[in-house]
Structure 1
Amino acid sequence: MEENLAASDFDVHYHLKFVRKCLLLLGIWPLDSKRSWKPLYTFYFWLTFVYYIIFDISGAVLAIKTWSENYLTTASSFGIVIEYVSNAYKVLIFKSKTYKQLIAYIAQKEKKIFNSQDEEFLKIYKENAAFTRKIVYFYVSMGSTGISLYFITPLISNVVYPLGYNNITGVKEHHFIVFSYFPFDANRYYWAAYLIQFTGCFYGYAYIVYCGAFYITLITFVTGELKILQHLFVNFRKYSNKFQEQYSLTEEQSQILLLKKLVKEHLKIIRFVEQLNDSIKLFMLLNFVISSFQLSLVVYQILQLPLIKQITVFSYFITLSTQLFLVYNSAHEISVQSENVATSIFKSDWYTYSPKIKRMMLIVCIRSQKPLVMTIGPTWSVQVTSLFQIFKALYSYVCIIMRN
């Protein structure tokens, strides 16, 4: 990956424009070292991240304390904590040097595409980016609606479903955003406890939704690159003729030059996917293993809570399920589009080229038969069909929990 980009290259992004703003809000987006406020920015990230971890621990403490005593409280605490802790791991992955390199690579590719002034390239790239923004806006809007319900529901419940007063302390009891442990009387100091939960849940929501949107955007970038590569192969003669005029070459020389460039671009895409996959595959394995159990705890809450809280928890369930679908579907699309590279060669007039060009194209076709894949751990591929396994296991967990 080419890392040595000017600082200005990190300031203007097209494909990553929306998620860049989201990650800047969280202190995750990589800043150039020359930024005068970078130390303050770094301090902000670690301050909020450590706060988030402590908030997760408080939820885990309550879940352990209520184990076998109150299944609803335990399910509520673990249902949030499991997802929050796994996303803390993902946040640290996105803060790594690998993702700075991936972002730099995207910035460089965008610069080349826009400088080329090729209307067809720009159309393919912009359409892919526009589609990505649509699904990301939808996902973030859904997540924002869900977290807003979490914040509003306890305030409404305090009025609609008052809990009365504690018989021992005489302090009025309240509804909270989530179940979590406090080292003080949370009912006595309700607004302090509410603010603590509000902040912790906001960053929990942001880490889940914004980081999920960032990962989806990275995956769909690859899809766009593969579509541009396919376009070049389909219109191979057109672009080789441009090379012939530009560099004063023979027809075969221009075709060889173009084909070598396309092979290099294909290899760069392969390396990008491999680097992205190597960094995230262990998280994908962890997420695959825990998703069914974690979602089953959420479903259990939906079945046990009053209607107003059911709606809130259901929105959380839909947000997590949507993220799973978007990630697995986008990763699956990479495999489909990588195999389509060979199809794009057959759509061209390959049969009119010299034997040498045909042999080189055949090599590209053979490589394309091994599709690019994102993996769950070291072995399983991330495909839409993998979601069926998650939701089958979810049903089994719910049945087990309801029996108890």
Structure 2
Amino acid sequence: MKFKFLSRTFPLRDYYFYVPQLCLGSMGFWPMDTCRQQAANVGAWMNLIILAIGVFTEIHAGCTVLRTDLELALDTLCPAGTSAVTLLKMTLIYYYRQDLAWVLERMRSLVYERDVSINPIKKRIIRAHAVMAARLNFIPFVMGFITCTSYNLKPLLITLILYMQGQQPMWKLPFNMTMPAFLLRAPYFPFTYIFTAYTGYITIFMYGGCDAFYFEFCSNAAALLKLLQEDLKSIVSFGGREEQLVFTAQESTLLEWRLVRFIMRHNDIIELTRFFCKRYTIITLAHFVSAGLVIGASIFDLMTFTGFGIVIYIAYTIAVLGQLFIYCYGGSLVAESSVQLATVAFGCDWYACNPKLRRYVLMIIIRSQRAISMSVPFFSPSLITFTSILQTSGSIIALASSFK
């Protein structure tokens, strides 16, 4: 029952930003909570401070062994980089909490304010995008959770194996961090271990929540553009009449009013997307830069590690690629749905309208030919970008294999 949101039988309105709310709400960073509940702000600050301590101690430990043990340094700095970017995401999510809360309210009103509940076609469009968003957002979160759990269990499994072999156990932390010596001995070591493991789960929940928030917005924006296409078909469809129709003054006024409302809704979606992109620009840039570095480090570790370390980095690489995919796929969804609006408008019976109404439709076609982009400085998230990343990663793997 806990995973019922992955099916198509979940209540439609409950799908709305379900996975982002699950992840961010667990850490106290859900914008609707931080704007209204003091307890959420306290939890958010506590998790922010805990992760900040974990990031700085982990980066210090990685830089310390960088010259002496490259493999250990990469094994330390790889999760440290992810945690550092997560810390940045946490800060920005909290800083823009009021803006993001407004985005949530505005998006909900645009998606559910109209006749979605009584129109089966529109209801099917909303549900299809909601189910897709829930499933795709859940996959990288699960892979990240598996990766973090693998890191946390690895020292315990190694210690257990050594104990069963009659050797001296080696008590190590899940993540390599610079800690005071007394925290690494009894009776404080279990608490240090729990603290270190918890920083990993903060990273997973916040990383997954921030990325899921982005894709959920893109999915809902694409659904709104699909709803606009259905609205335009209902407004400018006259049974395939090729000759120009003669409308009464009342009919012409009604059609004009419906087209004006259509254009206003289209403008609302465009402005809302731009508003959201500005708040997510740094997060998106940081995510792609860190993901590229993590993929490179993971490939190196996959080539050099043996045993349980390979399992960890396979899950790690899949999680990072999954998070990159939802960014790129989200950008493609919005761009393709916005451009498709021009195709739908051109396929309607706009030529049967009078010149004034025809100009409205032509303006819609011209406006829609320019895709709504989720672009940030230097690039635009899309499936083409994701394909380029995969090709580059494959080239690095081939190059690394040739040096064996």
Match of 1:180 in 2: 177
Amino acid of the residue matched to residue 71 of structure 1?
L
SS at match of 1:107: helix
In structure 2, the residue corresponding to 1:381 is in which secondary structure?
A: coil
Deviates more, 1:203-212 or 1:109-118: 109-118
Q: 1:295, 1:346 → 2: CA distance? A: 43
Equivalent pair of 1:216/1:327 in contact (CA under 8 Å): yes
> TM-score with structure 1 length normalisation?
0.85
Q: Could you list the per-position Cα deviations for residues 309-363 of structure 1 after superposition, in whole angstroms to 9, with x for gaps in the alignment?
A: 2102210111011110111011112111100011111222222111111111101
In structure 2, the partner of 1:273 is: 273
Q: Which residue of 1 aligns with 2:251?
A: 251
1:331–1:382 CA contact under 8 A, matched in 2: yes
1:300 aligns to what? 300
* Counterparts of residues 350-361 of structure 1 (less than 5 Å): 350-361=350-361
Paired with 1:401 and 1:182, the residues of 2 have a C-alpha distance of: 36
Partner SS, residue 375 of structure 1: coil
Structure 2 unaligned regions, length at least 5 = 1-12, 239-247
Equivalent residue, structure 2, for 1:264: 264
CA contact (8 A) 2:148 2:204 kept: yes
Report the counterpart of residue 146 of structure 1 in structure 2. Answer: 147
Give the ranges of 4+ consecutive aligned residues of structure 1 lying more than 6 Å apart after TM superposition.
162-166, 400-404
- Cα RMSD for the two superposed structures: 2.9
Match of residue 69 from structure 2: 70
Distance 1:273 1:34 in 2: 21
CA contact (8 A) 1:163 1:174 kept: no
Query: For residues 391 and 135 of structure 1, do their structure 2 counterparts lie closer, same or farther at Cα, with a shift above 3 Å needed?
Result: closer
Give secondary structure in 1 for the equivalent of 2:173: coil
2:9 counterpart residue number: none
Paired residue secondary structure (1:177): coil
Q: Which residue of 2 aligns with 1:50?
A: 49
Deviations 1:91-143 (A, max 9, x none): 22222122111111122224413676333322221221122112223333333
1:49-87 Cα offsets, whole Å, 9 max, x none, are 111011011110001111211101110121111121112
Query: Following the alignment from structure 2 to structure 1, what is the Cα–Cα distance between the partners of residues 310 and 278?
Result: 38
> Which of 276-285 and 256-265 deviates more?
276-285
User: What's the counterpart of residue 18 of structure 1?
Assistant: 19
**Is the 1:173–1:187 contact (alpha carbons within 8 Å) kept by the matching residues of 2?**
no
Partner of 2:379: 380
Work out whether residues 165 and 173 of structure 1, in 8 Å CA contact, stay in contact via their aligned partners in 2.
Answer: no
Structure 1 residue 165, shift from structure 2 partner? 11
Deviations 1:124-175 (CA, angstroms, capped at 9, x unpaired): 2122112211222333333333322222222212223569999xxxx85224
- Counterpart CA distance in 2 for 1:402 and 1:290 is 26
Q: Percent identity?
A: 16
| Deviation by residue 1:201-240 (Cα, 9 ceiling, x = unmatched) | 110111112222222111111110010011111222479x
Residues 319-358 of structure 1: pairs in structure 2 closer than 5 A: 319-358=319-358
Aligned match of 1:39: 38
- Scaled by the length of structure 2, the TM-score of the pair is 0.85
Letter in 2 for 1:313: Y
User: What SS is found at the alignment partner of 2:204?
Assistant: helix
Residues 1:158 and 2:159 aligned together: yes
- Give the letter aligned to residue 322 of structure 2: T
Distance 1:249 1:175, change over 3 A: farther
One-letter code aligned to 1:19 = P
Residues of 2 paired with 1:389 and 1:142: CA distance? 22
Q: 1:162 touches 1:174 (CA, 8 Å); kept in 2?
A: no
- In structure 1, what is the equivalent of residue 197 of structure 2? 198
Equivalent residue letter for 1:44: G
Answer whether contact 2:173 2:193 (CA < 8 A) is retained.
yes
Secondary structure of the 2:181 match is: coil
Q: CA deviation at 1:382?
A: 1.6
Distance 1:347 1:48 in 2: 53
**Which amino acid counterpart does residue 130 of structure 1 have in structure 2?**
V
Q: CA–CA distance in 1 between the matches of 2:371 and 2:216?
A: 20
Is residue 226–residue 337 contact of structure 1 (8 Å, CA) maintained in 2?
Answer: yes
- How far did residue 45 of structure 1 move? 0.6
Distance 1:151 1:207 in 2: 18
Instruction: Kindly indicate whether the alpha-carbon contact (under 8 Å) linking 2:159 and 2:169 is maintained by their aligned counterparts in 1.
Output: no
In 1, the alpha carbon distance for the partners of 2:118 and 2:351 equals 30
Question: Corresponding residue for 1:27?
Answer: 28
Asked if the contact 1:292–1:397 (Cα under 8 Å) also holds between the matched residues in 2, the reply is no
Q: How many pairs align?
A: 378
Instruction: List alignment gaps of at least 5 residues for structure 1.
Output: 1-11, 240-247
Q: In 1, Cα distance between the equivalents of 2:64 and 2:109?
A: 52
Output the CA distance in 2 between the equivalents of 1:127 and 1:177.
40
Change (3 A) 1:280 1:140: same
Compare 218-227 and 102-111 and name the one that shifted more.
Answer: 102-111
- The aligned counterpart of 1:233 is 232
